[in-house]
Amino acid sequence: MMDLFFKPRSVAVIGASRNPKKDGNIILQNIIDSDFSGDIYPVNPSAEEILGLKVYPNVKDIPGEVDLVVLIIPARFCVQAMEDCAAKGVKAVIIEAMGFAEVGPEGKALQDQIVKIARRSGIRVMGPNCTGIVSRDITTSFFPIKDVPRGDVVLIGQSGLLAAGMASDIVVNRTLNINKICSIGNKCDVNENDLLEYFGNDPDTAVISLYLEGVADGSRFVPIAREVAAKKPVLLLNGGRTEAGAQAAMSHTGSIASNQRIVEAALRQTGCIKIDDFTEIKDIAKVFSTQPVPGGNRVAIVTAAGSVGVVVSDLCAEHGLEMPRLSSPIVESLREVFPPNMEPANPIDLWYTIEQLGLVKTLEVTLAAPLQDPGIDAVVLILAGFDYTIPVLEQRTVQKITAKYGKPVIICMIVGYNDYKNRIMEELGQDLPVFTSLDSGVKALSKLCAYGMRKRQQI
Amino acid sequence: MIINQILGQAREESRLVLTEIEAKQVLGAAGINCTDTRLAADKAEALTLSEQIGYPVVLKVSSVDITHKSDAGGVKVNLADRAAVEKAYDEIMASCRRAVPAAVIEGVSVQPMARPGIEIIMGMIKDPSFGPVLMFGLGGIFVEVLQDVTFRIVPLQPGDAAAMIDEIKGKKLLEGFRGQEPVDTSSLVDMLLKLSAFVEKNPTIKEIDMNPVFAYREGALVVDARIILE
């Protein structure tokens, strides 16, 4: 059923437009620019041809079968269009127009009518008030976007920021190995549960990251999320607090329970990963998408500045990560590049070694060492944007070392010249998670370690 | 059987709140260990029940019209003998009639004075999206001041109940802090799972408080309970 949305064989755009500035034109162009190879039917009663495609006055006039309809007409016309879709036998509709439940009772009444037609005719509806799907196979968004990667991360959101701003950021800058971005708007029918279930079973999806404004159907969410989160990481940012449930309560329990606490409980119970900020939707997804899942939470820090090591140590403790001593053979191997009067320890302080050997040779010993330590599960590497860092980028030193050991490495970069920082971000950041704050990097790693430890408990 | 009977009777009487005796009978029938609490319609019966149950006992006014029993002077604890029970009975009746003159008083509940344990609160509330949700936490001042509680969505799996107990900040108090007896957490897990199963089977129940539950080295006991119907 959900395949009709993501892998349709034919698609109609009701509200297709000749005007390249109009949403109805951009959507059509996005579909043409994607890898979609099925039939595309623009629908518009007052046009003959748009973007080289034959136009139909009504969806009912289309000769072939229509798997998916995108509705981009004003809200007040959507009810009739839904009737037309029902008459045509369409089973999947994305309604992108605004002006429904999000604007008040009148819009809510329109939305209710849509749901009624959908239930009666067996149509699944995504939206309204959404941009639908961004993917290589098909893009229904009304923001111009193409060349979407065939990655392994799926983002699901109820937000224009996610669907438009973040989507173009990710796709153009190639900052996340994305596969699909789904904007589900008011969730009048298709909601996060449908998509979780679908992407949980999708072999191309390795990481699912969600932004929700409230969980639509919590009692269904719990069993689905539990099953999916046992298979692949599910990250969730829940925005908005509703206290509706608690206010009317007569019991002590009811006076304490808040919707936010209950959502948090559901995340713990199902093994979903709670995230707290929009940036984490993609940044933590990137950690899960690019890094192996560790078996524990024992971290080594590799840093060019001792003071940074101190603060990262504190942050590790705060985020539930341990920083054990390095095992003695590892300390021995580090001693070869350390000055005689300085005992190698965790954090591994690189400054002297960089001055002696340069950063490439330094990392070949000092980054490889903790990754070989059986007592270390993950590494935080602190880099800076200076001259001496550039050979590491050019020779792909960090990528080469980390590829060898199957342990996660996250990079934090907090100082340097912008030119170099940008290069680190763009070049190293393609392959590995690079954070511009220590806290966000350590926090992201802690989520990965917690996931790994939970996984290990399940086995 | 007894569960349906009690819930049915409350519905017939258009009552949304069960009496403490009813609540404990219902929970008891669900396999949850509650203090043996019985209704005495008059003073003589209160004495007979006290003898049967064994001193010291607790007397509480039993009336669906009196929600805040302590405030109405309707609770007397640690009654050690016949004389104390007789005196407490008279005082409860006088005080409650004064506090809530219109109340229909069916008598007093008699229950043994429970041996003090670590105070726990358990409860259930319904969330509009998630449905029934259980709460677990440290009772007494900990719940009042710190809200040191945790939630899980019904139905609970065994691991969920253990995780709830593990998650509270004051977990150390359950492990035998400063010479206090450590608590039998397995009986708390068992109680949470029974509560979850009970809630799942009885969708007409809207809210539950089990407050306090006394947790001991062995076992746990519901000392007071409140059930509210849809």
**Contact criterion met (CB < 8 Å) for B153 and A219:** yes
Percentage with pLDDT > 90 across chain A:
84
A241 touches B: beta carbon within 8 Å: no
**Contact criterion met (CB < 8 Å) for B209 and A251:** yes
**Contact criterion met (CB < 8 Å) for A245 and B125:** yes
Low-confidence ranges of chain B (pLDDT < 50): none
Classify burial at A56, counting beta carbons within 10 Å of its beta carbon; exposed 0-12, middle 13-18, buried 19 or more.
Answer: buried
Evaluate whether B43-113 and B118-229 have a shared fold. no
What pLDDT sits at residue A241? Answer: 60
What pLDDT sits at residue A66? Answer: 98
pLDDT digit string, tens, across residues A37-84: 999 999 999 999 999 999 999 999 999 999 999 999 999 999 999 999
pLDDT digit string, tens, across residues A287-346: 999 999 999 999 999 998 888 889 999 999 999 999 999 999 999 999 999 998 889 999
Residue A30 three-state SS: helix
- Mean pLDDT computed over A403-431: 94
Cβ(B136)–Cβ(A265) under 8 Å? Answer: no
B205 touches A: beta carbon within 8 Å: no
C-alpha distance from A456 to closest chain B C-alpha (Å): 14
Higher pLDDT, A243 or A240: A240
Stretch among A12-21, A236-245, A379-388, B32-41 having the lowest mean pLDDT: A236-245
C-alpha distance from B208 to closest chain A C-alpha (Å): 7
Minimal Cβ distance to B207: which of A216, A253, A259: A253
Instruction: Name which of B133, B165, B52 is nearest A263 in CA terms.
Output: B133
Cβ(B19)–Cβ(B64) under 8 Å? Answer: yes
Chain A to chain B Cβ contacts (< 8 Å): 87
Q: Say yes or no to pLDDT of A15 above 60.
A: yes
Minimal Cβ distance to B127: which of A218, A251, A252: A218
What pLDDT sits at residue A246? Answer: 45
B121 to chain A: nearest residue by CA?
Answer: A253
Q: Say yes or no to pLDDT of A249 above 80.
A: no
Residues of chain B with Cβ-Cβ distance to A268 below 8 Å are 152, 163, 167
Peptide bond before residue B155 is cis, with ω within 30 degrees of 0: yes
CATH for the A292-458 domain, from 3.10.110.10, 3.90.1720.10, 3.40.50.261, 3.30.450.80: 3.40.50.261
Residues of chain A with Cβ-Cβ distance to B211 below 8 Å are 252
Q: Say yes or no to pLDDT of A240 above 80.
A: no
What pLDDT sits at residue A123? Answer: 98
Tokens of A171: 């796709």
A458 touches B: beta carbon within 8 Å: no
What pLDDT sits at residue B212? Answer: 94
B209 touches A: beta carbon within 8 Å: yes
**Contact criterion met (CB < 8 Å) for A253 and B126:** no
What pLDDT sits at residue A252? Answer: 77
Domain range summary for chain A, segments of one domain joined by +: 292-458
Q: How confident is the model at residue A213 (pLDDT cuts 50, 70, 90)?
A: confident
Residues of chain A with Cβ-Cβ distance to B206 below 8 Å are 250
What pLDDT sits at residue A119? Answer: 98
What pLDDT sits at residue A245? Answer: 44
What ipTM was assigned to the predicted interfaces of this complex? 0.88
Runs of H (alpha helix) within A201-277: 218-231, 244-247, 252-256, 259-270
pLDDT digit string, tens, across residues A329-385: 999 999 999 998 889 999 999 988 998 999 999 999 999 999 999 999 999 999 999
B143 touches A: beta carbon within 8 Å: yes
**Contact criterion met (CB < 8 Å) for B130 and A262:** yes
Minimal Cβ distance to A222: which of B121, B128, B153: B153
Domain range summary for chain B, segments of one domain joined by +: 43-113, 118-229
Considering Cα of B181, then B182, then B186, then B190, what sign does the dihedral take? positive
A254 to chain B: nearest residue by CA?
Answer: B125
Report the residue of B129, B133, B211 to disrupt the A interface, i.e. the one with the largest count of A CBs within 10 Å.
B129
Minimal Cβ distance to B123: which of A214, A251, A266: A251
B123 touches A: beta carbon within 8 Å: yes
What does residue A8 show for φ and ψ, rounded to 5 degrees?
A: -70, 155
Classify burial at B213, counting beta carbons within 10 Å of its beta carbon; exposed 0-12, middle 13-18, buried 19 or more.
Answer: buried
Residues of chain B with Cβ-Cβ distance to A214 below 8 Å are 129
Minimal Cβ distance to A222: which of B130, B206, B207: B130
Residues of chain B with Cβ-Cβ distance to A246 below 8 Å are 125
C-alpha distance from A103 to closest chain B C-alpha (Å): 22
DSSP element (H, E) containing B152: strand B149-153
Minimal Cβ distance to A251: which of B125, B129, B149: B125
Residues of chain A with Cβ-Cβ distance to B127 below 8 Å are 218, 245, 257, 259, 262
What pLDDT sits at residue B176? Answer: 84
CATH superfamily assigned to domain B118-229:
ATP-grasp fold, B domain (3.30.470.20)
What pLDDT sits at residue A248? Answer: 57
DSSP element (H, E) containing A238: strand A234-238
C-alpha distance from A272 to closest chain B C-alpha (Å): 14
Residues of chain B with Cβ-Cβ distance to A261 below 8 Å are 151
pLDDT digit string, tens, across residues A263-278: 999 999 999 999 999 8
- Mean pLDDT computed over A175-202: 95
CATH number of B43-113: 3.30.1490.20
- Tell me the average pLDDT of chain A: 93
What does residue A3 show for φ and ψ, rounded to 5 degrees?
A: -60, -30
**Which A-chain residues 124-163 have CB contacts (< 8 A) with chain B?**
none
Q: Say yes or no to pLDDT of A160 above 90.
A: no
Residues of chain A with Cβ-Cβ distance to B167 below 8 Å are 268
**Contact criterion met (CB < 8 Å) for A265 and B127:** no
Pairwise CA distance, residues A291 & A432, whole Å: 8
Distances, alpha carbon A81 to alpha carbons A6, A23, A27, A49, in Å: 21, 17, 17, 20
